[in-house]
């Protein structure tokens, strides 16, 4: 099985390199090596390589910046995946694409299911939803994996930001009214590789850690672990989203139900607390 991984240098792509190499013959490309704004380049590459699967881990993820760059966000998150799907459909290839909890409006109190109505609050979410819709409408066999709150040892993410701030800050305010499930990029990558290997049928699946928490409680858990390692930590203050308004509105509740994943693939990611402990053990703490 030949797999082409796009976005190989990102925090998820970095983990996917390892996970996919265990199940397939892989070709890795970074964002710098393939311009996703160039539809012709995408078509030419796929026709040349003829992969069995394309795993698209490349995305426009600057949520706030997308409000002022909606066309670019749409090009990368919607139009590029559409070109991939259309080209692969002609060549008999399949597409595994990552999407987001931001396709929902967050106005709920129970984990979101794949069949729940979508209503993104911002341009980033809208662009990702458009990508989902384009892939679903194509004749390409596909897996669309929605996830959220992804973090890991490398890349720009909440976990690494907190580790860095612990070195320089004595106090820190973190929002406590946005609820989600912090998902380790390694577990997400491993799950994607297993789903690709045991592909059943096209569809959308939610793939995230078990449990739920707020950004404040996530930060608290990170700092408690750092403190146990003997590091100085800042004094945390819980605040509301209104106290620190962002350019792009975020969903208040973005926990995803993994029931379909369990039923179809017998896969279930561990609780976010357990995953966090594994991540902390795998990094050289500051």
> Looking at the annotation, which residues are catalytic?
124
Residue 279's alpha-carbon distances to 1, 21, 186, 201, in angstroms, are 30, 21, 9, 32
- List of E strands, the chain: 2-6, 25-29, 53-56, 94-100, 141-147, 150-151, 171-175, 179-180, 183-184, 203-206, 213-214, 235-239
CA atoms of 256 and 212, how far apart (whole Å): 9
Phi, then psi, of 83 in degrees rounded to 5: -65, -40
Q: Are residues 19 and 192 in contact, defined by beta-carbon separation less than 8 angstroms?
A: yes
Q: Are residues 181 and 256 in contact, defined by beta-carbon separation less than 8 angstroms?
A: yes
Structure tokens at 62: 């600057």
Q: Element (H or E) spanning 131, and its range?
A: helix 123-137
Structure tokens at 270: 């561990």
Q: Element (H or E) spanning 54, and its range?
A: strand 53-56
Q: Element (H or E) spanning 88, and its range?
A: helix 80-91
């Amino acid at each position: 099985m030949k797999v082409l991984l796009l976005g190989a240098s990102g925090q998820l792509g970095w983990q996917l390199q390892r996970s996919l190499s265990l199940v397939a013959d892989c070709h890795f490309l970074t964002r710098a090596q393939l311009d996703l704004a160039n539809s012709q380049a995408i078509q030419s590459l796929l026709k040349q390589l003829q992969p069995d699967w394309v795993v698209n881990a490349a995305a426009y993820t600057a949520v706030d910046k997308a409000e002022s760059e909606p066309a670019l966000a749409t090009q990368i998150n919607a139009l590029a995946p559409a070109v991939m799907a259309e080209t692969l459909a002609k060549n008999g290839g399949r597409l595994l694409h990552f999407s987001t909890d931001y396709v929902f409006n967050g106005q709920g109190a129970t984990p979101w299911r794949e069949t729940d109505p979508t209503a993104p609050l911002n341009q980033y979410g809208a662009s990702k939803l458009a990508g989902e819709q384009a892939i679903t409408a194509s004749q390409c066999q596909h897996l669309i994996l929605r996830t959220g709150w992804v973090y890991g040892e490398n890349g720009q993410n909440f976990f690494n930001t907190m580790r860095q701030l612990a070195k320089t800050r004595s106090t820190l305010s973190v929002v406590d009214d946005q609820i989600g499930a912090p998902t380790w990029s390694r577990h997400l990558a491993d799950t994607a590789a297993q789903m690709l290997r045991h592909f059943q049928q096209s569809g959308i699946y939610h793939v995230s850690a078990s449990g739920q928490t707020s950004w404040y409680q996530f930060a608290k858990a990170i700092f408690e672990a750092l403190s146990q390692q003997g590091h100085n930590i800042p004094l945390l203050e819980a605040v509301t989203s209104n106290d620190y308004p962002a350019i792009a509105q975020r969903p208040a509740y973005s926990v995803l139900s993994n029931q379909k994943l369990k039923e179809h693939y017998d896969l279930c990611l561990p609780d976010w607390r357990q995953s966090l402990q594994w991540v902390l053990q795998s990094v050289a703490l500051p």
